[in-house]
Amino acid sequence: MSTTPARVHLDGVTKRFADVTALEQVDLDVADGEFIALLGPSGCGKTTLLRIVAGFERPTAGRVVLGGDDVTTTPAHRRPVNMVFQRPTLFPHLDVAGNVAFGPRISRLHRDEIRRSVDEALALVRLDGYQHRRSHELSGGQMQRVALARAIVNRPQVLLLDEPLSALDLKIRLEMEVELRRLHREIGGTFIYVTHDQREALALSDRVVVFNEGRIEQVGTPNEVYREPRSPFVARFVGDANVLPVEVRNDGTVTIGEARVPVTASGTAGAAWLVLRPEVVRVEPVDGGDGVRGVVHDVSFRGTGHSYRIAVPGLAEPLKAEVPGVTDHHALGTDVSVRWDPAASRVLPRSGGD
């Protein structure tokens, strides 16, 4: 990533609204052709950042550089970026072709050229033949495809997507995810995708930027962010996780319930968070071994396996466990032994305030 120059370079971007700080010193480089997801809970500043890149908001401090040009003070209409909004906002007075042709018409292209690029863009979003439909004749998914075509027809340097699937039904949303990945491959553009849905972010993007309270918590590939969360916030927000407060001893073990279990902390003793993904937790019959003892508090069938909640004495919350396979099923109230591979767990430092 260091070899190609950044398509988008954000340098200390800060945004304050009256007395609220929406973004605090955000630095981020997006490489050419990259599909990057800005992930975070609502109100974390991710949409504000997208609107700053689009030019709808001006940062209180910091710089926005697009393809080497500082565009911090450039108005939205002169930026080589296009945005797809959360709600499908088609111009109601124009048909599908008119909507898609809006940008090309401003560029004063020749009429045949406009028609050709509109047809191309509609073919890319698989809406060829819909040129003369009106927005009220389209489904939500189709409207959002038109909005996509309307944005990509201008061949933007960066395509900005502000939770474009959140207003759609689950089934359409999953179809559109496949479409977005295909579209990204076919046009090879740079995509910045804002979402609060961690599943969507992991499934779609090359890199995920996790936001919390106006700051970047972690940047990494979906795999890194999921497997090596750098903070309890990321661990809890990306995927499901058991985040347990523990005291690491000098020999690298911790006490959970009545059991003493090894963790992979490299000699760092003291207060820590132990992050355990539910799918690494094994639930076994009690055998007198060294597992953590608990009682099945809740069990539900998930098709591919069972979801457990195991009450462990001394833990405030029951442990979550996802166990694949349909044969070994522990009934509610059964005493069980819980184990995991220490290499699959993760220990994060914990300061007193956490």
Interface residues with another protein (CB under 8 A)?
54-56, 75-78, 81-83, 85, 87, 89, 91-94, 102-103, 106-107, 136, 150-151, 154
Q: Choose between 124 and 263: whose C-beta lies nearer to another protein.
A: 124
Distance CA 102, CA 109 (A): 11
CA distance 158 to 190: 5
Taking the least distance from each CB to another protein, the nearer of 24 and 162 is: 162
Q: At closest approach, how far in Å is the CB of 144 from another protein?
A: 13
CB of 320 to another protein, least distance (A): 39
Q: Looking at beta carbons only, is 61 or 109 nearer to another protein?
A: 109
Residue type at 85 in one-letter notation: F
The CB-of-43 to another protein minimum distance in angstroms stands at 19
Give the residue with the Cβ less far from another protein, 66 or 248.
66
State the Cα–Cα distance between residues 166 and 148, nearest whole angstrom.
Answer: 14
Angstrom distances, CA of residue 18 to CA of 22, 60, 168: 10, 11, 33
Shortest approach of another protein to residue 252 CB, angstroms? 54
Taking the least distance from each CB to another protein, the nearer of 50 and 274 is 50
- Cβ-in-10-Å burial (0-12, 13-18, 19+) of 312 comes to buried
DSSP state of 120: H
Segment holding 171, helix H or strand E: helix 170-187
Nearest approach, Cβ of residue 115 and another protein (Å): 17
CA 49 to chain centre: 15
Q: Which is nearer to another protein, 16 or 236 (CB)?
A: 16
Smallest distance, Å, CB 22 to another protein? 18
**Are 73 and 228 a contacting pair, CB within 8 Å?**
no
Q: Judge whether 254 and 245 are in contact, CB under 8 Å.
A: no
DSSP string for residues in 29-97: EEETT-EEEEE--TTSSHHHHHHHHHTSS--SEEEEEETTEE-TT--GGGSSEEEE-SS----TTSBHH
Find the shortest distance in angstroms from Cβ 76 to another protein. 4
Whose Cβ is closer to another protein: residue 89's or residue 221's? 89
